[in-house]
Amino acid sequence: MASPRAVQLSLRKPTHAVCVVGVETLVNVYSDVPKGAKTFGVSGSSEVKIYMVYDPSRVAEPAGWAHWPLDANVDMVVVADTVSQDLHDFKVKVSYFESQEAAALAHSVLYLTAVDVSLDVDTGRTGKVKKSSGDKKTWRWGPGGSGAILLVNCDRDIHGSREDLHANHLRSLEDLQDMSPMVLSCGGPDELFESHKLVLKASLSDSRRLKVFCARGGTSLSNYKQVLGPRHSSYEVERHSGERTIQFYVEGLAFPDASFSGLLSLSVSLVDTRPLSEVSVFTDSVTFRVAPWIMTPNTQPPLELYVCSVTDIHGRNDKFLEDMSHLATKANCKLVVCPRAENRNDRWIQDELEFGYIDAPHKSFPVVFDSPRNRGLRDFALKRILGPDFGYVTREIELAGASGLDSFGNLDVSPPVRVGNIDYPLGRILIGGSFPKPSGRRMARVVRDFLQAQQVQAPVELYSDWLSVGHVDEFLSFVPTSDQKGFRLLLASPSACLQLFQEKKEEGYGEAEQFDGLKHKTKRSINDILADKHLRRDSAHVQKCIDWNREVLKRELGLSESDIVDIPQLFFLKGAYAEAFFPDMVNMVVLGKYLGIPKPFGPLINGRCCLEEKVRSLLEPLGLRCVFIDDFLFYHQLLGEIHCGTNVRRKPFTFRWWNSVP
């Protein structure tokens, strides 16, 4: 609310003023005082509450019919508690006296017209607009916080068009559900609005990031007129005779980013048009925060599993699709196959997009984040996923093209964690980069800035530039568990693999061969692998890189060693960068308790793969089910695995993001 404004009184003629119901109006009792007056008294209509503001150390409240002193800085405030039926129908009289017993020297009369002007939104975050006289301008985080929430209208309710936010008119009534309601109260005598107007405004910068539609009821789209937006930062409200409230709908046009905090403000002003220079009588303001884009970790239940149908020199990947279908059935998850005509033989669907969602008290829907890699799948999200209640967002890299680290295999998110005294109830985003190296590949700033600006999943940058592809999903994954912790972090571990092979050698299985069962790969015995100095040297280097990340993850996610499971995995160096020696088992797809793990083709001990048996022994006691799937020809040989070639849309968090405190 605006601070009280002062009304000047006159002894010569009555004063007329407009006030807003429930809002204090300061009356200047010193503006025209008769000579000799030492005190004053006040009376008024029953609809007007009159208050005196004074310093109790300087003046005592008069008793009975006593008057207030004029020399003690006593201020008078009036508040109307109901709307006027006619112009000037409320009265306040100020009488001036020389002494307590003497008759009044003179009187000042104030006639008030009280109007109801208020701009209201869902500040209580209940999904409903309630009228409020509190602070609507300040947006507060946390369970006791307040402030309205705005969704970016990034879905597409009408087929064959871009996101709804690009339209300059309402395209369907369903689209109103994606917007935040806002109500303007405008009760008062119709005659008043012949000399006063209501003006709805946004700052120039805010008007580029929102649109406001005025609703006049009915089922016709023509009843909903865009009144504010990128080309219109001010709107003179069309108030109809007798109208007491006007309904508006507000949509967001932009997600928080480096140059945008996510806060947007709107105001309405009651303006007196009679003076040569128009005068604002009262202004009410509201502030929205644009809902952030939120990622979902592997611990959230799966809803849809996406995979691509492709063909290469080995034929069609039908067997892999069949295996994915069986896995999805076990997990009670829908399988979505992207056909070759839509993926243009690009199988790396994890690299192309990341599923998340946006959430407001009145509406939530999934939003796909399209990466800037722009290969064969570049149109898939926009053309096939974007739709009713399924939004789309992307970030493009200006001038320079995308690097491998801009693919979303290099983007992950942890489960909810507590780090010291700080809670991250929606987890923390993980991306890979070149740190601690002084230079190297990093995820593009435009993507990093976007992720950081969402605030609710504070990103952690890991070291992934030691890998040829350079993605975090090549050395880590999270899996859900049924114990109190709720999850485990899986890390690829060359040391664990070499230790396992050493144990098998000592048990007499040194001649058992890696890649047993593969036709297109030279087999290597456990003895040969353990004797390979180059492979051991490469493994030591990779372990050092992973251990650096291990310490960062423990520190930034508040993890202990018991929260981490080391998955046996070997790497070799090709030039300065590492590649998986056999299918990379941490690069798995997680569907609830079912894990689709790349089949490692490890040495067979008593007819069973010792690598698979080791992983089962580590994970199945946690309530997980390991399903090993052959991805060697279609994925591993192309420097990717199952996680790279799949994508999962998951159930959103039940925790509401505005209850967090970033």
Task: Summarize the confidence of residues 349-375 as an average pLDDT.
Answer: 97
- Judge whether 116 and 188 are in contact, CB under 8 Å: yes
Burial class, 122, CB count within 10 angstroms (exposed 0-12 / middle 13-18 / buried 19+): buried
Tell me what pLDDT residue 455 has. 98
Residue 237: name the closest of 310, 286, 185, 177 by CA: 185
- Judge whether 369 and 419 are in contact, CB under 8 Å: no
77's tokens: 């405030």
578's tokens: 């590492």
Tell me what pLDDT residue 1 has. 43
pLDDT tens per residue, range 308-345: 999 999 999 999 999 999 999 999 999 999 999 999 99
Q: What secondary structure letter does DSSP report for 656?
A: -
Kindly tell me the number of DSSP H helices and DSSP E strands found in the chain: 10, 44
Residue 269: name the closest of 429, 381, 48, 119 by CA: 119
264's tokens: 């947007």
Residue 646: name the closest of 494, 514, 473, 521 by CA: 473
Tell me what pLDDT residue 63 has. 83
541 catalytic residue (yes or no): no
Tell me what pLDDT residue 4 has. 55
157 catalytic residue (yes or no): no
312 catalytic residue (yes or no): no
pLDDT tens per residue, range 584-643: 999 999 999 999 999 999 999 999 999 999 999 999 999 999 999 999 999 999 999 999
Task: Report phi then psi at 619, rounded to 5.
Answer: -105, -35
Strand partners, 462: 432
pLDDT tens per residue, range 515-560: 998 988 999 999 999 999 999 999 999 999 999 999 999 999 999 9
Task: Summarize the confidence of residues 383-389 as an average pLDDT.
Answer: 96
Q: Which value, in Å, is the radius of gyration of the alpha carbons in the chain?
A: 34
Please check the confidence at residue 277 and state whether its pLDDT lies above 90. Answer: no
Catalytic residue among 67, 196, 362, 471: 471
- Quote the CA–CA distance of 426 and 359 in Å, as a whole number: 13
Q: How does DSSP assign 333-347, residue by residue?
A: -EEEEE-HHHHTT--
Q: Which residues, 6+ apart, have CB-to-CB distance to 38 below 8 Å?
A: 69, 70, 71, 97, 98, 99
260's tokens: 């945008």
pLDDT tens per residue, range 15-58: 999 999 999 999 999 999 999 999 999 999 999 999 999 999 88
* Structural domains of the chain, ranges and CATH numbers in brackets: 7-115 (2.60.40.1860), 122-290 (2.60.40.1700), 294-659 (3.75.10.10)
- Judge whether 612 and 352 are in contact, CB under 8 Å: no
Catalytic residue among 116, 155, 351, 406: 351
86 catalytic residue (yes or no): no
The chain-wide mean pLDDT, for the chain, equals: 96
Q: Where are the alpha helices (DSSP H) in 336-465?
A: 340-343, 349-352, 380, 445-453
pLDDT tens per residue, range 222-271: 899 999 999 999 999 999 999 999 999 999 999 999 999 999 999 999 99
Task: Summarize the confidence of residues 339-366 as an average pLDDT.
Answer: 98
Catalytic residue among 359, 412, 473, 584: 473
Q: Which residues, 6+ apart, have CB-to-CB distance to 400 below 8 Å?
A: none
Catalytic residue among 154, 214, 338, 644: 644
pTM to 2 decimal places:
0.94
